Structure 1
Amino acid sequence: MPRAKIGRVTPVPAQPFFHFRRITLNPAVNRGVIDIHSAFSQHLLQLTVTDAVFAVPAYGPQNDVTLKMPAFEWVHVQLHQQKGMISLSPPTICNSAIASGSGWDGLKTLVAMATRLTATMADDPLNHVLDGYHRFRRYAPRMLRLLDLRAAPVALPLLEAVTALRTGLNDAAMTSFLRPSSKWHRHLRAQRAGDARLWEIAVLFHLRDAFRSGDVWLTRSRRYGDLKHALVPAQSIAEGGRLAVPLRPEEWLADRQARLDMRLRELGRAARAGTIPGGSIENGVLHIEKLEAAAPTGAEDLVLDLYKQIPPTRITDLLLEVDAATGFTEAFTHLRTGAPCADRIGLMNVILAEGINLGLRKMADATNTHTFWELIRIGRWHVEGEAYDRALAMVVEAQAALPMARFWGMGTSASSDGQFFVATEQGEAMNLVNAKYGNTPGLKAYSHVSDQYAPFATQVIPATASEAPYILDGLLMNDAGRHIREQFTDTGGFTDHVFAACAILGYRFAPRIRDLPSKRLYAFNPSAAPAHLRALIGGKVNQAMIERNWPDILRIAATIAAGTVAPSQILRKLASYPRQNELATALREVGRVERTLFMIDWILDAELQRRAQIGLNKGEAHHALKRAISFHRRGEIRDRSAEGQHYRIAGMNLLAAIIIFWNTMKLGEVVANQKRDGKLLSPDLLAHVSPLGWEHINLTGEYRWPKP
């Protein structure tokens, strides 16, 4: 679609509209087609009301130059002004860079201009909004006529004003959508009679804010739709039986208030007595020391000794042996007939090609059994996302049943973390750059690893996305995740919304919070807390808000438990509201209570800290295994489609699970042989043996299979 230009309207880029083409992924799969009206409405809304309707014109009183800047450019002006003032303060490390660039005089001029612009706009930005009126007046009414808008009761006056605007019956007297203390009242009264321009701008400004808060929504839209419409009915909450909280908010509040008051008193006594494990509270400041490694003597030597007794093997033989034990290839059924793949060797070639990041064309050159087109046919008709999930569940379940796995855990705790992979710069997958990993675009594979080392869930997420919303996705993906009771994450996986959702669903959420001393506690009655803890308390729990929204909070949790909507989709929508949405705020209040209880447990329980550290270490070691097996193409994910990237990561995760199963089985055989020989090994030492080794597995070279 070429750039469009209607009159003096700002050109609209074509890229957002690429999503409207028909989606065709695999043959014989009944995939949906995007609703064209819904998609157009959603992207039109994103391009106008919520993103770029308004420019911020900045007129300095002493300026004869007019700068018309979008909002993001205005932020850059403020940053330049602040950074410039710092640079002009002698001496700084950037002296040589400035001198070799525009020079000190040029920098002083830019800083002075930025300072004047900052002062002008800080005075009252509403003085200048009329200068951007022409940008949207030509198309705003027509755009609004295309949008099927709905509103919560609090936003009905705004919806009436929007209706008047899109029908052309502009009435500047319709100001009931404004707050009584709003600055807009003063500016609207100053307008001359019959001039409704400022009123139109006020309506669109508040419409934008209402979309951000969720008080106004777009029908048939995922991003701007009404969250409550996606939730299960209230009457089905009691029938689900998956919630770990009472149905009445008074019962939950009474229980949590009693528990929180008791735990605050216990923390106060420990602080006074100086018995906080590895920490203290002094002058209202929390101090926590990092735990030291606690591996028993001889654990490392035992690991080396056990792996020396495992015979070297080729990856092809390993796959055949694991399939004979688990039957994971039966999960890859024909997309049309539903029959398992008859060509097991060909299917394992495809899985291996995905897992080691080789690709089917290179695999056809390296294998002795199949051509490229034969592998293409098998991959197209048998390999898809749900098949990978079924095969992974089969391998994980079989690994958990092995005797050796019991030394590492009972399968009731897990850790989750994201692993970054460099990806191609081109294609429809829209890979993003995360400065944390450099300036190369990429993606993250977010994986869940059980305490028995089994990677029971993985999914592709954007490199810049917060990891927190995706925690529950993995826990609810299969039976292995539903058995988990305690979930560990790093700092990136922690939000108050996740604390609330996990607690309501019966999971104990235990993140390792990097800046724990800076986090505040919350109490139902802060004045009743121990005096020396009050500096740690950041506020009072809003009980009334929790009570008002408790039915919808339970609907959110029941919807997540039922699997009708992905947990990440709900949590991302709640977290995306920049302005106060009462349901999102109420869920945050629940999360603050649960986070406070967890923080007190963490401070007082060194064993909890140690369990979290062990769980996270298992996840990080799992990343090392994936990095080792995906060595082809320099470990880069070069698939240009999101579907191809998903299959690549899923294949890599399945291959890692297969290796972990085989290692667990062989380590168990070695331990059993030593037991028969009269050499008993301590369970404490065996708990530190990992099934993540790969040096004894030949992953490279030609992939030879036995001839049928």
Structure 2
Amino acid sequence: MRKIGISPDVAGRIHVDRFRQYVREGRASPAYMIERYIPSRRRATLVAFLLDLEERLTDSALEMADKLIGSIFTRAKNARARSYATTSKNVARLMLIFRRTIDALTDAVDTGEDPIEALDASVGWNTLLKARPEVATIAETASLDSLTVAADRYATLRKFAPDLLETLQFRAGKGSAKTIAAIEMLRDLNRSGKRDLPADAPMPFRKEWRKIVVGDDSKINRRLWEIATIAHLRNKLRSGDVWVERSAGYRRFDSYLLSEPKAKPVVSALGLPPIADEWLEQRGRELDWRLKKFAQRLKRDALEGVRYRDDRLQISPVRTIATPDAEALADRLDAMMPRIRITELLHEVAQETGFLAAFTNLRTGEACPNENALLATILADATNLGLSRMAAASQGVTRDQLLWTHDAYIRDDSYRAALAVLINAHHRLPFSRVWGDGTTSSSDGQFFRGAKRGASGGDINARYGVDHGFSFYTHVSDQCAPYHINVLSAATHEAPYVLDGLTSHGTDLKIVEHYTDTGGAADHVFALCAMLGFRFCPRLRDFPDRRLAPMAPVTAYPSIVPLLGKRIRTEVIAEQWDDVLRLVGSIKAGHVAPSVMLRKLAAYERQNQLDVALQEIGKIERTLFMLDWLENPDLRRRCHAGLNNSEQRHALTQAIYTFRQGRIIDRSHEAQQYRASGLNLVIAAIVYWNTIYMDAAAQHLRSTSVPVPDDLLAHTSPVGWEHIAFSGDFLWDRAAASTGRKALNLPPDSRAA
């Protein structure tokens, strides 16, 4: 790519959105199409495409190296764990010998008997001598570092590391100069073929590894030094301390943030004070008052469902239970829903909302003229059927039409725009307000198995067994509408992605309060949610084990000292306040995704001060939330009900995403995201359609003098699917011809009336 000789500076000569448009055209257009362009447009498209391709190739190489290095150490840790397991029986036997030895020596001291004779009589001197080498082996195994075990996979590292270091140019600030020096030395060694390292070889990695790398003879072990250097480089790349030129995902840390002048007006609009002292004083006063009030109520047993026994909190679970009347009403509404095919449902929703207009041609900007082909393409993503099988199972569309439609109209931004149209249309329906006003939401991940090992099968998460896979992380509003979705590796922590959906959904929803389970909770998320204007309310599985964090000395709250953790380090918050505001402003302005910054901050080998400041702010906000949770049973019920919306959505997902046994076989993240986005769009269409007909059913019941109170309707849900046919032949022409709304499924006597 570099031999072509394109300067990366040319990308800065046009607006970034225009550049991205050229890139999208280049990636989607076949060669014969680009050949027909006029010379200036053809040249611009090719140059933009090639610049983007170099970035993607660079990022792909680094991501592959990241996984390979990580797997080397993961296998080393697993090997060490297995060695521990094999010695467990010996450890138990040796500990019994050790206990008998101590008992014998203790008795000898008490009785004045000769210790050696007592030991020989009780344990046996020969037994102790035989145990000596076993003890030495187990002690050596226990002290074995993962770096030493990783050295066994040195050959794997050598297969790719020299090419990686030779091909890419790494840059770093002054704080990482040793890392760059180590990389340069490793490059020279690879070029010259030398094996021995000089005595003054740079060692940028942690101190524990330096002791292991240098042997007893004061010589540096080349294998251990090289593995430690590459592992250290991986961590530095993750955090942004070391970056790569012409890369999109491994840029300099500061490049992800707005400049201070640009961030300042964004921060001001959020109402955050420019100086930390004002914020700390207000939060400190509130936290002190809340802790004292909580201590008093806890002492009087005045908290509903909360008890303080043996220095530990006991919290009774809160359940949202629908009454028999509500369940009966829900069953009655479900029975009245018209029976419909998914093809007809999609056509009807498209006619009412116009969401298909969001799918514009990549080159011309025009809407798709073949609605059947576009809906079939979307449904092929949603059901995991694929374009070829969808064409074979469809009437009214061909495989070539689906392939052309997918290339020209299906993009991540078009999926997001179409979803926003649907969510906004649903939000405007008066009946949707029986479930909520669109100000609260929840998010949760759903696991999908990937392809077999060797393909792009995803990562393993022990929670889901030994299958490789991915997680669809979805945000659902209190109106049951899924307004955002992300595809994550199964091994990826969910917490960094909570804010992605809240800050970049692009709909008319004004989310104020958000619920997650424990997987989405982290102190950093508490901090950023509070500063961005969201109330973060996770359902914490380990709630009693978490500590409240005071800003005053713990002695100020004597009755709840066992519940308190370390004091908040306010001095760190004050020192890093400007950088915190800059980060918050960058996220609010959409300059960087929250997940990108949280993952980079988490990648630092040693916590940097910005990371620590966010964590301390998060402890304050988490403590205030925990007090709210303990004092307010209504909050606990809202959180539980909100997470139920996500669970209901998961059930509908399993009913739709059924083909290929629900496995994700796509290799690229882009294709995987298309699957998830198509699935989310179809679910949003179902929720919209169900809401329309549930409204009609409720109006019919009221017209026949049947009471339908809103408090009972709140226990119903628009994510039912028993009346929808997802499989069979997809008759698109027939679906397009069936215009207008369907009649409710009423008993014969009701129809006659």
TM-score range, shorter chain: 0.7 to 0.9
Compared CA separation, residues 700 and 255, structure 1 to 2 (3 A): same
Say if 1:420 and 1:124 are closer, same or farther in 2 by CA, change over 3 A. Answer: closer
By how many angstroms is 1:161 displaced? 7.6
Residue in structure 1 matched with residue 526 of structure 2 by the alignment: 499
SS of 1:311's equivalent in the other structure is coil
Deviation at 1:246, TM superposition (A): 2.1
Q: How many residues align?
A: 649
How far is the alpha carbon of 1:529 from its aligned partner? 3.5
Residues 458, 650 of structure 1: 8 Å contact kept: yes
Q: Aligned with 2:242: secondary structure?
A: strand
CA RMSD of aligned residues (A): 4.1
Aligned to 2:139: 119
* Alpha-carbon separation, structure 2, partners of 1:489 and 1:359: 32
Letter in 1 for 2:403: I
Correspondent of 2:708 among 670, 681, 692: 681
Query: What are the superposed Cα offsets for residues 218-243 of structure 1, whole Å, 9 maximum, x if unpaired?
Result: 33356665423321111212222454
Task: Find out whether 1:231 has 2:254 as its counterpart.
Answer: no
C-alpha separation between the residues in 2 aligned to 1:247 and 1:269?
Answer: 35
Equivalent-residue separation in structure 2 for 1:575 and 1:297 (angstroms):
48
Over 3 Å counting, the alpha-carbon distance change for 1:209 and 1:280 in structure 2 is farther
Return the letter of the residue paired with 2:612: T
Q: 1:387 aligns with which of 414, 417, 440?
A: 414
Distance verdict in 2 for CA 1:324–1:189, change over 3 Å: closer
Match of 1:212 among 235, 239, 262: 235
State TM-score, norm by structure 2.
Answer: 0.76
CA deviation after TM superposition for structure 1 residue 634, in Å: 3.1
Shift of 1:153: 5.2
The residue type equivalent to 1:27 in the other structure is: S
Residue-by-residue CA offset, 1:596-629 (whole Å, 9 max, x unaligned): 1111111111011000000000110011111112
Query: Bigger CA drift: 255-264 or 374-383?
Result: 374-383
Correspondence for 1:478: 505
Q: What is the Cα deviation at residue 298 of structure 1?
A: 0.4
Q: Any residues of structure 2 matched to 1:480-629 within 5 Å, and which?
A: 480=507, 483-629=510-656
Partners of 1:301 and 1:133 in 2: CA distance: 63
- The one-letter amino acid of 2:54's match is I
Name the aligned partner's letter for residue 136 of structure 2.
R
1:77 and 2:83 are equivalent in the alignment? yes
In 1, distance between residues paired with 2:223 and 2:537?
Answer: 49
- For 2:471, what is the secondary structure of its paired residue? strand
Corresponding position of 2:282: 255
Whichever residue aligns with residue 116 of structure 1, its letter is A
Q: Is the deviation greater in 668-677 or in 411-420?
A: 668-677
Is the aligned partner of 1:34 residue 2:54? yes
Relative to structure 1, the CA distance from residue 164 to residue 373 in structure 2 (aligned partners, 3 Å threshold; closer, same or farther) is closer
**Which residue among 303, 307, 328 is the counterpart of 1:276?**
303
SS of equivalent residue, structure 2 residue 483? strand
Instruction: Compare 316-325 and 675-684 and name the one that shifted more.
Output: 675-684
Indicate conservation of the 8 Å contact 2:526/2:621, yes or no: yes
Q: Distance in 2 between matches of 1:324 and 1:527?
A: 63
Query: Quick one: distance in 1 between partners of 2:186 and 2:663?
Result: 51
In structure 1, the partner of 2:127 is none
Distance 1:76 1:115, change over 3 A: farther
Query: Residues 201 and 397 from structure 1, CA distance in 2 versus in 1: closer, same or farther, beyond 3 angstroms?
Result: same
SS at match of 1:479: coil
Residue 283 and residue 685 in structure 1: after superposition, are their counterparts in 2 closer, same or farther (change >3 A)? same
1:304-453 to structure 2, matched below 5 A, reads 304-425=331-452, 429-453=456-480
**Does the 8 A contact of 1:41 with 1:147 survive in 2?**
no
Q: In 1, distance between residues paired with 2:652 and 2:603?
A: 34
Letter in 1 for 2:528: A
Q: CA offset at residue 123 of structure 1?
A: 6.5
What amino acid maps onto 1:618 in structure 2? Answer: N
Corresponding letter in the other structure for 2:235: R
1:625-673 C-alpha deviation (Å, 9 max, x unpaired): 1111223333333434433322222111111110100010111122233
Asked if the contact 1:433–1:439 (Cα under 8 Å) also holds between the matched residues in 2, the reply is yes
Contact kept, 8 Å, 1:494 with 1:511, in 2: the verdict is yes
Q: In 2, distance between residues paired with 1:467 and 1:139? A: 30
Cα separation, 2, equivalents of 1:689 and 1:644: 35
Give unmatched runs, 5+ long, in structure 2: 1-22, 31-44, 97-130, 190-195, 738-753
Partner Cα separation in structure 2 for residue 300 and residue 126 of structure 1: 56
**Contact 2:427 2:438 (C-alpha < 8 Å) held by counterparts:** yes
Relative distance call for 1:362 and 1:43 in structure 2 (3 A) is closer
Aligned match of 1:97: none
CA contact (8 A) 1:357 1:635 kept: yes
Any gaps of 5 or more consecutive residues in structure 1?
A: 1-21, 56-68, 91-110
- Is this contact kept in 2: 1:141–1:167, CA < 8 A? no
Contact 1:395 1:658 in 2 (8 A): yes
- The CA distance in 1 between the partners of 2:607 and 2:469, in whole Å, is 33
Cα contact 1:413–1:450 (8 A) shared by 2: yes
Question: Which residue of structure 1 aligns with residue 680 of structure 2?
Answer: 653
After TM superposition, the score normalised by the length of structure 1 is 0.80
Task: Provide the rounded CA distance (Å) in 1 between the counterparts of 2:606 and 2:252.
Answer: 15
Q: 1:172 to 1:132 in 2, by over 3 A?
A: farther
- List per-residue Cα deviations over 1:391-440 (Å, max 9, x = no partner): 11111100011111111111011000011122322675342232322322
Q: Aligned partner of 1:344: which letter?
A: E
Q: 1:593 to 1:165 in 2, by over 3 A?
A: same
Aligned to 2:566, what secondary structure does the other structure show? strand
CA drift at 1:143: 8.1
Q: Secondary structure at the match of 2:395?
A: coil
CA distance in 1, matches of 2:507, 2:622: 25
Which sits farther off after the overlay, 285-294 or 503-512? 285-294
Measure the CA separation in 2 of the matches of 1:342 and 1:183. Answer: 63
* Alpha carbons of structure 1 residues 307 and 280: separation in structure 2 relative to 1, 3 Å: same
How far the C-alpha of 1:508 sits from its partner, in A, is 0.8
The letter for the 1-side match of 2:609 is E
CA-to-aligned-CA distance 1:439-464 (integer Å, 9 cap, x gap): 22222111110000000111211122
Q: What is the letter of the counterpart of residue 334 of structure 1?
A: N
What amino acid is aligned across from residue 79 of structure 2 in structure 1? Answer: E
Deviation digits for residues 228-283 of structure 1 (CA, Å, limit 9, x no counterpart):
33211112122224545322211221121111111111110111010122011223
Distance in 2 (CA, whole Å) between partners of 1:590 and 1:151 is 29
Q: How far apart, in 2, do the equivalents of 1:472 and 1:629 lie?
A: 27
Worse-matched range after superposition: 115-124 or 481-490: 115-124
* CA deviation map 1:482-519 (0-9, x unaligned): 62111100111111111111111111111000110011
Q: Distance in 1 between matches of 2:510 and 2:147?
A: 59
Correspondence 1:120-269 to 2 at 5 A: 120=140, 148-151=169-172, 154-155=175-176, 197=220, 205=228, 209=232, 212=235, 214=239, 216-220=241-245, 225-241=251-267, 243-269=270-296
Q: Percent identity?
A: 34
In 2, Cα distance between equivalents of 1:362 and 1:43? 32
- Partners of 1:218 and 1:459 lie apart in 2 by 26
Q: 1:88 to 1:684 in 2, by over 3 A?
A: farther
Q: Take 1:691 and 1:146, find their aligned partners in 2: how far apart are those partners? A: 54
Aligned to 1:298, what secondary structure does the other structure show? helix
Give distance in 1, aligned partners of 2:258 and 2:211: 41
- 1:122-157 CA distance string (max 9 Å, x none): 66979999x999999999999878775555555557
- Cα separation, 2, equivalents of 1:51 and 1:85: 29
Secondary structure of 2:623's aligned partner: helix
